[in-house]
Structure 1
């Protein structure tokens, strides 16, 4: 069997394709990439110094992975950064190209774009400098991933960049933000302890930063929160970029200090969080008391208050379920300083700063 014949064999024993295409109005399966298709697809990449890695590629899934390229830089933080490309055939003549840039410290950011012209996709990704993908908080890099779309109008204009994710590794904790949650929805945040690090965090750790931040909710060994952002670009990406930097700076400083310092620096902000968390409950109590007062006072059949009182409950339910975030009815714990010496959780589970 020749090398060309070997390329034409499926990458595994199964023939089940995963890519799909539309043909004559019907959805039909795309077959695994053949040798001739691979040669056609990689031609513009070879001209620019990118060579396919057949062992890392998935021909059945119609996905090609290219060999990594190392970049030199006068800036020590970016010197030796590794670039890797991945090409996916989504539909007939429609492709997704992903460029992953990894620094020596391990921080990795992605650029993703879609289209039909492979040369244009390469130009689009290549127009974004490496430094644009990373923010720095002291010595901590925040790796920011983006989705690129071509700029409307004039040719050669910089593509639109929409932030999709951000990640930073702190001492004992990984901060991960998902901005690709849908228009108008808040960006989701996950705080994950790193191996051999048991942390006990207060639920208002991020919420103390301001009105847009939500409290932490524990999910197994991690915590989840969110931050509100505008619906439209580029304001949404700019707001989330600034929020990521503020959160990482806040976490780095807070985790480096004793837990009691968090309460000392954010005493009034923590009480403001308590008030915000009780708003849904207080609003419901006000409505209940107001409804009872109107009932006891007696309302005539012709009064507009009677109509409002009768129709308000279903209208309120409709408003609640149409909100981006459903309100929580809770009685939050009152903030108090922690007596724990550090954020590290005791092995027996006793004590901790999560108050």
Structure 2
């Protein structure tokens, strides 16, 4: 691939004109003419309802070709959470309007004990309607940094990541989020935190709205649960934890049933042209197709029974701590 042609002075004047009309000033010191990237001087937004804190706004323009541009807006909170809005298209003027049409407060959510910043991609639908699609989200809640990455492919689960704040250790049950219902999977221990998945419905704007709603419900659940001792979680979610256990046992029970059914096939007298004989003969192919249709591969496991936690805190007791 050939190296990009650096931006000329004339091109810069044309590209920044839509921004200048909105009071934005280009920052040539931080821009990169060779990479065809222009940055603008940051803006400070004072705290304004419904947000309780000020925001720092940064904006940049990437010009890949004469008819291929990208405008990126970054909104940063004093805590370091960052909401990103990206717009791609051939006309810079239209991209600037598309970005400014999304108010800063639209990309933030907050509640008791949690704050979330959302990343979107602004796009124009075929009927001329403007739409924003969620691509990522991050939040701070009860000593956890929670991140969600949403795939643009319909039917693919969103990835959840729970990381403890620096210097803090937590002991979380693997059904912490799965008790919320079928869309939430159990969390698995990672090297420095936990990972899980979130099942979404629909596509496009519907899928984006579903992701935002379920991410907010996840944060509300974490804030409410981690604010109380682990025993309260077991007592409040006793039935839900047993439902998760039964749900996790389904793949194992189905496998046992299939093995038992295969052993009984020779004992059953089926006609040569029977539909049941055809289904039994092709059952391995049907099961393989079913596995590929699932959002995740089923796990064969003996799920642990939900038990009342003995610890009085979500933070594990170290040997140095008093018993």
Q: Which residue of 2 aligns with 1:238?
A: 209
Q: Which residue of 2 aligns with 1:133?
A: 107
**What are structure 1's unaligned runs of at least 5 residues?**
1-26, 351-355
Q: Which residue of 1 aligns with 2:82?
A: 108
State the shift of 1:103 in Å: 2.7
Q: Which residue of 2 aligns with 1:189?
A: 160
Aligned pairs for 1:1-355 (under 5 A) are 28-75=2-49, 77=51, 80-138=54-112, 140-153=114-127, 157=129, 159-348=130-319
| 8 A contact 2:113–2:223 mirrored in 1 | no
State the shift of 1:78 in Å: 5.0
| 8 A contact 1:72–1:78 mirrored in 2 | no
1:274-322 Cα deviation digits (max 9, x unpaired): 1111112211211221121121334454443332222111221122124
TM-score, L = length of structure 2: 0.91
Q: Which residue of 2 aligns with 1:353?
A: none
TM-score, L = length of structure 1: 0.84
1:187-246 Cα deviation digits (max 9, x unpaired): 111101110011111110000111111010112011111111113232212211111111
| 8 A contact 1:96–1:115 mirrored in 2 | yes
CA 254–127 in structure 1, closer or farther in 2 if over 3 Å, else same? same
State the shift of 1:336 in Å: 0.5
CA 153–320 in structure 1, closer or farther in 2 if over 3 Å, else same? closer
State the shift of 1:88 in Å: 1.6
Q: CA RMSD in A?
A: 2.2
| 8 A contact 1:77–1:103 mirrored in 2 | no
Equivalent-residue separation in structure 2 for 1:112 and 1:42 (angstroms): 17
CA 79–334 in structure 1, closer or farther in 2 if over 3 Å, else same? closer
| 8 A contact 2:115–2:141 mirrored in 1 | no
State the shift of 1:74 in Å: 4.1
**What are structure 2's unaligned runs of at least 5 residues?**
none
CA 304–90 in structure 1, closer or farther in 2 if over 3 Å, else same? same
**Deviating more after overlay: 79-88 vs 265-274:** 79-88
Equivalent-residue separation in structure 1 for 2:125 and 2:22 (angstroms): 23
Equivalent-residue separation in structure 2 for 1:77 and 1:55 (angstroms): 32
Equivalent-residue separation in structure 1 for 2:168 and 2:31 (angstroms): 36
Equivalent-residue separation in structure 1 for 2:237 and 2:141 (angstroms): 21
Q: Secondary structure at the match of 2:282?
A: helix
**Deviating more after overlay: 237-246 vs 66-75:** 66-75
| 8 A contact 1:44–1:119 mirrored in 2 | yes
